[in-house]
Amino acid sequence: MSLKAVTLALALLAITGTHADVSAQQVADVVWNYFTQLTGDAKETMEQIQQSEISKQLNTLFQDNLQNVNSYTEDLQKKLIPFTTELHGKLSQDSEKLKEQIRQELEDLRLKLSPYADEVHQQISKNIQELQLKLSPYAEELRGQVNQNAELLRQQLAPYAQELRDKLQENVDGLQAALAPYAKQLQQQIDKNVADMKEKLAPLADELQVKIDQNMEELRKQLAPYAQDVQDKLNHQLEGLSFQMKKGAEHLRAKLSESAEELRLKLSPYAKELKEKLRTDAEGLRQSLGPYVEGLSGQMEQKIEEFRQTVGPYGEAFNKQLVQKVEEMRQKLGPYTGEVEDHLSFLEKDVRDMVASFFSTIKQIEN
């Protein structure tokens, strides 16, 4: 087995050793990212690998839990090494072969569809229009959800600044003790609202994937009468298109979650700053808190507004990407297509399917 295959196997060992609930998707991400790294310059690739999070996880695993690593090594020899060897060989050898296969597949499809070029063009154009109509409500829903959650967060955080201002004006004794709970409550409110926001936004990606399945099935039926002898090849192309579109939906889900988490990280320092200021001496407390409290509400509102303006348009951008993918399919099935640029998406789909099948087999054996 090559050194590259061993390194990939060790990378998989690292994530399985440090994540008890590692998923097929996580492993597929490692495999695919590793492959795309290897397509670049060898020296640069090795430097990337050495500096990567995988390498750090592996070092931690070896240093902190050597006995555990040994047990995983034995399991790796039985399960992961044969699997990664096969997978590495497929990635290394099949890329150019697959590129030629896709080129030939498209050539056969274009030849079969050429007598019906106008009808095919019209059917795909119709599908694009239908897709736009189906996706439009989701873009509006996403923007509405973002606006609603941003406003809710603003409303729930605003009272803290006012309550702090009132406490300062009351000139009460024991100001530190009176204000101490606010720092913790402010952080808790930020964490809770962002968690709720993530939970409300996540289902949109699932709904979009259902719509993608429906649209691909409609497109298959619309084109089927013109591809009677090459239906399998058409289905394969549509499977590749569906994979790219669903990958976009997963990317949207990740972006929504990451953006919400970034908002939490931008708001949290205000709670930490309040906590730090409450540690100063009583005499200087009122003087240091005054400017902080006066600017608190406006600064938090600014961060929330930036989030709203950034994330709100995500739905429209996603819709344009999906429509563009279908438009590219229309062009590929047209009279002429140049170099095939998307064969790697088919290869990635194969890799992810293989990883999912591998995990399914392992679970069956364990059960």
Residue 216 lies in a domain: yes
What is the pLDDT tens value at each position of the chain, 367 positions in all? 444 444 555 455 554 544 445 567 776 777 677 677 655 543 344 344 444 444 444 344 334 433 444 454 455 445 655 665 566 666 666 677 878 888 888 889 999 999 999 999 999 999 999 999 999 999 999 999 999 999 999 998 888 888 888 877 775 567 777 777 888 888 999 999 999 999 999 898 889 999 999 999 999 999 999 998 899 999 999 999 999 999 999 999 999 999 999 999 999 998 888 888 777 766 667 777 778 888 888 899 999 999 999 999 999 999 999 999 999 899 888 776 555 556 778 878 887 888 788 767 766 665 5
- DSSP labels, 14-29: HHHHH-TT--HHHHHH
Rounded CA separation 335/333 (Å): 7
The enclosing domain of 345 has a CATH number of: 1.20.120.20
Residue 122 lies in a domain: no
Residue 229 lies in a domain: yes
Residue 55 lies in a domain: no
Nearest to 76 by CA among 52, 88, 68: 68
Residue 233 lies in a domain: yes
Rounded CA separation 280/266 (Å): 24
- CA 159 centroid distance within chain: 34
Question: Which amino acid, 278?
Answer: L
pTM above 0.85, yes or no: no
In terms of residue numbers, what domain contains 212? 164-366
Task: Work out how many domains the chain is built from and give that number.
Answer: 1
Rounded CA separation 292/276 (Å): 12
Spell out the alpha helix ranges (H) of the chain.
3-18, 24-38, 42-51, 53-64, 66-78, 80-113, 117-170, 175-201, 203-223, 231-277, 282-311, 314-332, 343-366
Q: Which two tokens stand for residue 275?
A: 């906590």
Question: Which amino acid, 337?
Answer: T
Residue 358 lies in a domain: yes
Q: Any idea what DSSP says for residue 278?
A: T
Residue 172 lies in a domain: yes
What is the residue whose two structure tokens read 């309550």?
163
Residue burial 241-271, b: 16+ Cβ < 10 Å; e: rest: bbbbbbebbeebbebbbebbebbbebbeebb
Residue 90 lies in a domain: no
